[in-house]
């Protein structure tokens, strides 16, 4: 009899926090803020679910527009209110962080059985100085950066990464994601690591670079460029293009690289 009562009590506790899907879907919160950043400073973004879209401008500042909306769970409507966007730092380095600490009691532990650990989605739209450095760390967010003229570093688990009109170094690491990179010039090293993803990299046809492809299963490369001095092993391919230059390194397990001329 005690067991039956305890089970009934647990369902009585859980039931009131359920919310109709329609009511939850209508709850969206926005955050808007602009902060100073030196033209050659650094912007860091740390987030989990959602997306990050970045464009550049010639102003010494970062403009942040964030939209917070419910994830795919049915936990109560206050999820969106408890998700926070933290923006801080100094003129030399600005940080943007998605803070889910007030949701840990709902999103983790025993409630995962019902909740699935789904956190609110935070979609960032950011403008930053073109010559500033960029670092992004996320779990499930898709990343899109356009017009950067400096180094970018991205660490993600499931998200896709897109760099357009890029003129700078790049260091990208993703597990299941893929992506696309278009270089206006290829003058600094680029490293891409993915477990299962497919990447397309395009650059001007007269670009000079050293190519290093490391693939567990081999046959991971399609190239529009002529490969000189080709050395190919069981899982590694090394070559030079147009006489050589900065390194383009691609590391994968099951993924592939398509190297395209613009």
- Domain of residue 193 covers 160-262
What average pLDDT does the segment 30-36 reach? 98
Same domain, 132 and 183: no
Q: Which has more pLDDT, 24 or 202?
A: 202
Percent of the chain with pLDDT over 70: 81
Same domain, residue pair 132 and 171: no
Judgement on whether residues 122 and 222 belong to the same structural domain of the protein: no
Give the per-residue pLDDT at 234: 67
Domain boundary at 140, 170, 204, which?
A: 140
Dihedral sign of CA atoms 239, 242, 243, 248 in order: negative
Nearest to 132 by CA among 207, 66, 238, 55: 55
pLDDT of residue 254: 87
The answer to whether 162 and 180 have CB atoms below 8 angstroms apart is yes
Whether residues 238 and 195 share a domain: the answer is yes
Q: Is 65 inside a domain boundary?
A: yes
Average pLDDT over residues 51-68: 98
For residues 61 and 119, membership in a common domain is answered with: yes
30 and 87 share a domain?
Answer: yes
How large is the average pLDDT for residues 159-184?
95
Quote the number of domains for the chain. Answer: 2
Please check whether residue 233 lies inside any domain of the structure: yes
CA distance 214 to 224: 18
DSSP letter assigned to residue 123? E
Of 202, 171, 206, 172, the residue nearest 189 (C-alpha): 171
124-128, 157-161, 233-237, range with greatest mean pLDDT: 124-128
Residue that wins the pLDDT comparison between 11 and 108: 108
The verdict on residue 149 lying in a domain is: no
Report, as an integer, the average pLDDT of 93-103.
93
Instruction: Look at residue 159 and tell me whether its pLDDT is greater than 60.
Output: yes
- Is residue 24 scored above 50 in pLDDT? no
By DSSP bridging, strand 236-241 and strand 209-215 are antiparallel
> Last residue of a domain, which of 140, 171, 206?
140
Q: Are residues 247 and 183 in the same domain?
A: yes
Q: Which residues contact 226 (CB under 8 A, 6 or more apart)?
A: 241
**pLDDT at res. 58:** 96
236 and 191 in one domain? yes
Q: How confident is the model over 35-50, as a mean pLDDT?
A: 97
Cα Dmax for the chain: 81
133 and 242 share a domain? no
> 90 in a domain, yes or no?
yes
Q: Which of 108, 140, 172 is the last residue of a domain?
A: 140
Give the pLDDT of residue 232: 73
Instruction: With respect to residue 86, please indicate whether it lies within any of the assigned structural domains.
Output: yes
Confidence of residue 102 (pLDDT cuts 50, 70, 90): confident
Question: Residue 3 falls within a domain, yes or no?
Answer: no
Mean pLDDT of 74-103: 87
Q: Are residues 68 and 124 in the same domain?
A: yes
pLDDT (average), residues 60-68: 98
What φ, ψ does residue 190 adopt, rounded to 5°?
Answer: -130, 130
Q: Is residue 147 part of a domain?
A: no
Give a yes or no: residue 94 inside a domain: yes
| Residues 28 and 133 grouped into a single domain | yes
64, 125: one domain:
yes
């Amino acid at each position: 009899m005690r067991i039956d009562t305890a089970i009934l009590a647990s369902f009585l506790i859980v039931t009131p926090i359920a919310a109709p899907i329609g009511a939850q879907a209508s709850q969206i919160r926005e955050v808007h803020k602009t902060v100073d950043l030196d033209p050659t400073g650094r912007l860091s973004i740390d987030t989990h679910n959602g997306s990050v879209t970045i464009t550049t401008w010639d102003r010494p500042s970062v403009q942040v527009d964030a939209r917070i909306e419910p994830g795919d769970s049915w936990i109560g409507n206050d999820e969106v209110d408890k998700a926070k966007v933290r923006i801080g730092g100094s003129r030399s380095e600005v940080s943007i962080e998605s803070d889910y600490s007030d949701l840990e009691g709902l999103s983790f532990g025993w409630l995962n059985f019902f909740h699935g650990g789904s956190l609110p989605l935070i979609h960032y739209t950011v403008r930053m100085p073109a010559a500033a450095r960029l670092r992004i760390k996320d779990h499930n967010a898709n990343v899109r950066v356009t017009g950067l003229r400096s180094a970018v570093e991205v660490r993600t688990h499931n998200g896709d990464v897109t760099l357009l009109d890029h003129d700078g170094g790049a260091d990208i690491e993703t597990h299941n994601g893929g992506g696309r990179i278009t270089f206006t010039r290829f003058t600094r090293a680029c490293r891409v690591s993915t477990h299962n993803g497919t990447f397309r990299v395009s650059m001007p046809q007269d670009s000079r670079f050293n190519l290093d492809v490391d693939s567990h299963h081999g046959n991971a490369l399609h190239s529009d460029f002529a490969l000189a001095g080709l050395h190919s092993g069981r899982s590694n391919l090394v070559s030079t293009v147009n006489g050589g230059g900065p390194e383009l390194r691609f590391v994968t397990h099951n993924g592939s690289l398509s190297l395209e001329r613009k």
